[in-house]
């Protein structure tokens, strides 16, 4: 290597000045997430060898069976965030209610709230397919020192100060934005450090991949069905390739690098959509827009939606701008 790539820690410190209101807390918060990601990565990589593999027997708030690794990831991220007096509250896919975090003085002094899906795509764990962690960070609305309230979490995605994901795959990557572009860092497991491997990530303007669970085609709205047929037509630039892993992080990560569109429409089965607005759609939408893509629910930009419930669901489409615009033509007609 001709020049030393910067580590995630160095990159965070160097770019601290680009955070609005920064006094080091957001850097420390990102470092807490980085640390938890390394611990979870270690467990994910040995999941096949130990009893952490498989189903915990519990069902989470979403009615989905919790894999043991989900529970482990949830505890790890919560503990890592609690250890630094920066976060006043957490919303997790695995917990029914939001979690209030108090300092030693029994006050919620933290400036930030974190919303997360600690292990996205966890049904894939048993078959050794990539899974991920998604996170979204907001500044609280309520005054510091007072208990955190629901309204601190129910902010539109536009108010996010940072968002990102970790993909635990053939290599482990942490990808995040603070509203100043998207950067990807790959873990060197020998040293335990994340190195900047994908600076300033952008969606290719045109893509040729569409990602959707086509098994649900019969339940989709008519415009989405028509768009899928359009993707399959034989033209000079089509048919597009259909690629679907069933882990939002993995599908999104591939599409951002190669160019593509991800579709999870509302349907006759999931009237509101299936993905969660606050800790799946919003953070991925923030990354999408920062990478020159578009993220929408079909009617408006996802980040303009005003949430009403911490586990609210939404229809979700994101990807290369030309592909989303084409989809929007079908929806508008």
CATH of the domain at 278: 3.40.190.80
Q: Which of 126-135, 205-214, 311-320 has the lowest mean pLDDT?
A: 126-135
- pLDDT tens digits, one per residue of 233-265: 999 999 999 999 999 999 999 999 999 999 999
> Please, which residues bridge with residue 131 across strands?
168
| 262 labeled binding residue | yes
More confident residue, 68 or 136: 136
| 203 within domain boundaries | no
Cβ of 81: how many Cβ atoms within 10 Å?
Answer: 25
| 12 within domain boundaries | yes
DSSP 8-state symbol, 281 = I
Which of 134, 164, 198 is the last residue before a domain boundary?
198
Task: Read off the CATH number of the domain in which 183 is found.
Answer: 3.30.540.10
| 227 labeled binding residue | no
- The count of structural domains within the chain is 2
| 43 labeled binding residue | no
| 96 labeled binding residue | no
Residues 128 and 223 in one domain: no
| 70 labeled binding residue | no
| 117 labeled binding residue | yes
Q: Averaging pLDDT over each range in 11-15, 40-44, 169-173, 304-308, which range is the top one?
A: 304-308
- In 23-111, at which residue ranges do the beta strands (DSSP E only) sit? 55-59, 65-67, 87-92, 99-100
* pTM (two decimals): 0.93
| 263 labeled binding residue | yes
Give me the domain span that covers residue 255.
209-332
What pLDDT was estimated at residue 61?
Answer: 72
| 145 within domain boundaries | yes
Residues 55 and 90 in one domain: yes
| 213 labeled binding residue | yes
Residues 160 and 294 in one domain: no
DSSP 8-state symbol, 280 = I
Which of 138, 165, 198 is the last residue before a domain boundary?
198
Tell me the C-alpha distance between 13 and 16, whole Å.
5
Residues 159 and 261 in one domain: no
Tell me the C-alpha distance between 128 and 45, whole Å.
9
- pLDDT tens digits, one per residue of 50-85: 565 556 667 777 776 766 888 999 999 999 999 888
| Model confidence band, residue 2 (pLDDT cutoffs 50, 70, 90) | very low
By CB neighbour count within 10 A (0-12 exposed, 13-18 middle, 19+ buried), where does 126 fall? Answer: middle
| 195 labeled binding residue | no
Contact 245, 129 (CB under 8 A): yes
- 41-49 mean pLDDT: 77
| 102 labeled binding residue | no
Q: With residue 257 as reference, give the H or E element that holds it.
A: helix 248-258
Residues 34 and 182 in one domain: yes
Tell me the C-alpha distance between 227 and 262, whole Å.
12
Percent helix, percent strand, percent coil in the chain, to nearest 5: 35, 25, 40
| 21 labeled binding residue | no
| 97 labeled binding residue | no
pLDDT at 108 over 90: no
Contact 139, 112 (CB under 8 A): yes
Q: Averaging pLDDT over each range in 12-26, 101-115, 234-248, which range is the top one?
A: 234-248
For the chain, percent of residues with pLDDT exceeding 70 = 92
Which of 198, 227, 254 is the last residue before a domain boundary?
198
Distances (CA, A) of 153 to 55, 146, 242: 29, 15, 35
Tell the residue number behind the tokens 């290599």, with chain if given. Answer: 171
């Amino acid at each position: 290597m001709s020049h030393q790539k910067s580590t995630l820690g160095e990159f965070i410190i160097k770019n601290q000045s680009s955070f609005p209101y920064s006094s080091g807390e957001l850097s420390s918060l990102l470092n807490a997430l980085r640390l938890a990601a390394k611990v979870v990565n270690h467990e994910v990589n040995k999941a096949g060898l130990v009893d952490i593999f498989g189903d915990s027997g519990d069902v989470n708030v979403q009615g989905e069976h919790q894999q043991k690794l989900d529970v482990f990831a949830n505890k790890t991220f919560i503990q890592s965030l609690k250890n630094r007096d920066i976060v006043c509250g957490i919303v997790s896919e695995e917990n029914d209610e939001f979690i209030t975090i108090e300092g030693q003085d029994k006050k919620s002094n933290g400036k930030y709230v974190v919303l997360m899906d600690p292990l996205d795509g966890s049904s894939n764990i048993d078959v050794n397919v990539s899974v991920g962690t998604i996170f979204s960070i907001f500044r609280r609305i309520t005054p510091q020192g007072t208990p955190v309230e629901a309204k601190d979490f129910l902010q539109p995605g536009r108010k996010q100060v940072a968002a990102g994901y970790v993909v635990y795959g053939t290599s482990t990557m942490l990808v995040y934005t603070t509203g100043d572009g998207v950067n990807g860092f790959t873990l060197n497991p020998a040293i335990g450090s994340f190195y900047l491997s994908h600076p300033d990530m952008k969606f290719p303007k045109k893509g040729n991949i569409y990602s959707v669970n086509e098994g649900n085609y019969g339940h989709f709205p008519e415009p989405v069905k028509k768009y899928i047929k359009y993707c399959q037509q034989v033209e000079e630039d089509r048919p597009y390739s259909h690629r679907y892993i069933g882990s939002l992080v993995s599908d999104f990560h591939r599409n951002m690098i190669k160019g593509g569109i991800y579709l999870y429409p509302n349907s006759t089965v999931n009237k509101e959509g299936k993905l969660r607005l606050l800790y799946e759609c919003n953070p991925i939408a923030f990354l999408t827009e920062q990478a020159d893509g578009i993220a929408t629910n079909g009617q408006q930009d996802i980040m303009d939606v005003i949430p009403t419930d911490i586990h609210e669901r939404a229809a979700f489409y994101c990807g290369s701008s030309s592909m989303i615009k084409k989809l929007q033509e079908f929806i508008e007609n």
